[in-house]
Amino acid sequence: MSEAAMAAVRAYLDAYAGAATPIPALAARGAVHLAAAGLPGGAPESWRHTDPGELLARRFAVDALPVEVDAPSDLPQLAGAVRRVWVAGQPAPALDAAELAPGARMWALETDPEGVGAQIAPERDGFAALNALGFRHGAGLALDAGVVLAEPVHLLWWSSADQPALAAHPRVAIRLGAHAAATVVVHQAGAPEAGGFLNSAIEIALEAGAVLKLLVVDQSGAGAFGLSQVAVRCARDSRLEVWLIDAGAGWVRRELDVALAEPGATVNLHGLVQGRRALRADNEIVIRHEAPHTHSRQQTRAVLEDRARAVFGGGVAVAAGAQGITARQGNATLLLSRRAEVVTRPALEILADDVQCSHGASVGQLDEAALFYLRSRGLDRDAARALLVASFARAALPDVPVAGVLDWVFDGIETRSPVAATA
């Protein structure tokens, strides 16, 4: 462990020592594991392509401070959504909107934390341990069997530029009963220059036949660091639809682990990185086919300009005996600047013989022939480039169930001129 990592561990242990915690036993386990295992400080395999040094060198306040938002219009809105808001890691009930239908329950997870840590245990790694130690606030969502929510649920963590850079460690628990269905938007956003560290853990359990449409959106400011660990267990014939969207300007690492635990379970994953300025985005994805006749599909894209950098780790693990599965994964990247970078690592681990699996990756620039065609139809070069970029990016997010999310991501992209390829 590097000196910066050791210093970060000591600082967090000192800051949280003796502080009130909703789950003392979980916090104690987190403190023990954090002290023993530390945080990534060198170059462990799972962090080989993303340097945590910048994060570990920063010091964030951890005290719970009163928070204010000047006006609700400052926040991203989703018309008709059931919304819960946290500002600088603290609940902001004045900004909440709407209530759930009968048969569905949403609550402050810290008031009823039963089952928290079952899927993301403190012993998973140093950041899971830190989350267990620092957890103070979060959200729980549970649907009874057969309940179908007509409106999306919007969980928003907001950072304001006039707030100090705080560290927060929220947790989210989502449990869908048999044949229940919901759409959930987990959203980190903030003012362009807002800072802070959001180290989140999201645990999801889908019972037989349940359907979850999950949108994970990052629009954090340039000084923000976001690390999220997401664990999902899919039971028989359940379906998980995921859209991962990175359109901020900060430092983002997301670890998604999906277990297709029973026959018929399916996951379809789409992802887009809109990389501008100095965005650093790392998506580490593992789909585990633990049962026969399970199915997965991963399709991710990136549009990178300025000094943006994206990392895609798309993994599929097929257990022995998981026969009759299908697994597809692909990643495509459009580089619009010589300073932009991408690392793409699709991978397969197959221990069964009756499977259909494929993976692939491509990296390129704009098609000059397509540019020529559009210019021949009357568009100038900048407008033609913008149209091609928008088309490529939008194709990464098919069938998004909440139209307002596309407005956040693509607002103005059709008219904005991309950075020249020679930048």
Domains in the chain: how many in total? 1
Per the prediction, the chain carries an average pLDDT of 91
Q: Is residue 293 part of a domain?
A: yes
Encode pLDDT of 117-159 as tens digits.
999 999 999 999 999 999 999 999 999 999 999 999 999 999 8
Query: For the chain, what is the total number of helices (H) and then of strands (E)?
Result: 7, 20
Confidence of residue 70 (pLDDT cuts 50, 70, 90): low
SS3 307: coil
Alpha-carbon distance of 391 to 40, in angstroms, equals 38
Among candidate residues 198, 185, 193, 187, the one with its CA nearest the CA of residue 75: 187
* Mean pLDDT (whole number) for 188-209: 93
Query: What is the DSSP pairing of strand 195-206 with strand 171-176?
Result: parallel
Q: Is the pLDDT of residue 422 over 50?
A: no
Query: What is the DSSP pairing of strand 266-275 with strand 138-143?
Result: unpaired
* Mean pLDDT (whole number) for 198-217: 98
* Mean pLDDT (whole number) for 359-364: 92
Q: Which two tokens stand for residue 235?
A: 């039971």
Alpha-carbon distance of 132 to 121, in angstroms, equals 8
Alpha-carbon distance of 13 to 36, in angstroms, equals 12
Per the confidence metrics, is the pTM higher than 0.85?
yes
Which pLDDT does position 162 carry in this prediction?
77
Confidence of residue 163 (pLDDT cuts 50, 70, 90): confident
Among candidate residues 239, 227, 229, 245, the one with its CA nearest the CA of residue 264: 239
> Which residues, in sequence order, are bridge partners of residue 296?
267, 327
Among candidate residues 350, 354, 315, 307, the one with its CA nearest the CA of residue 331: 315
Q: Is residue 376 part of a domain?
A: no
Specify the range with the lowest mean pLDDT, choosing from 47-61, 196-210, 225-239. 47-61
CB-neighbour burial class of residue 368 (10 A; exposed 0-12, middle 13-18, buried 19+): exposed
Encode pLDDT of 80-99 as tens digits.
999 999 998 899 998 999 99
Q: Is the pLDDT of residue 277 over 90?
A: no
36 phi and psi angles, rounded to 5 deg: -80, -45
Alpha-carbon distance of 171 to 131, in angstroms, equals 8
Q: Is residue 294 part of a domain?
A: yes
Alpha-carbon distance of 286 to 46, in angstroms, equals 12
Encode pLDDT of 291-344 as tens digits.
999 999 999 999 999 999 999 998 999 999 999 999 999 999 999 999 999 999
Cα angle 96-230-193, degrees, rounded to a multiple of 5: 55
Instruction: Write the DSSP string, 61-78.
Output: B-S------S-GGGS---
Confidence of residue 26 (pLDDT cuts 50, 70, 90): very high
CB 228 within 8 A of CB 256: no
- What residue type is 164 in one-letter code? P
Among candidate residues 15, 33, 229, the one with its CA nearest the CA of residue 134: 15
Q: Is residue 170 part of a domain?
A: yes
132 phi and psi angles, rounded to 5 deg: -60, -40
Q: Which two tokens stand for residue 119?
A: 């899927």
Which pLDDT does position 418 carry in this prediction?
37
Which pLDDT does position 236 carry in this prediction?
98
* Mean pLDDT (whole number) for 186-192: 91
Q: Is residue 389 part of a domain?
A: no
DSSP code of residue 167: E
CB 208 within 8 A of CB 180: no
Q: Is residue 397 part of a domain?
A: no
What own/partner pairs with CB < 8 Å and gap ≥ 24 does 8-16 have? 8/39, 8/56, 8/57, 9/34, 9/35, 9/38, 9/39, 9/126, 11/59, 12/62, 12/130, 12/133, 12/134, 12/167, 13/133, 15/62, 16/62, 16/133, 16/134
Q: Is residue 384 part of a domain?
A: no
Q: The domain containing residue 139 runs over which residues?
A: 3-365
Q: Is residue 410 part of a domain?
A: no
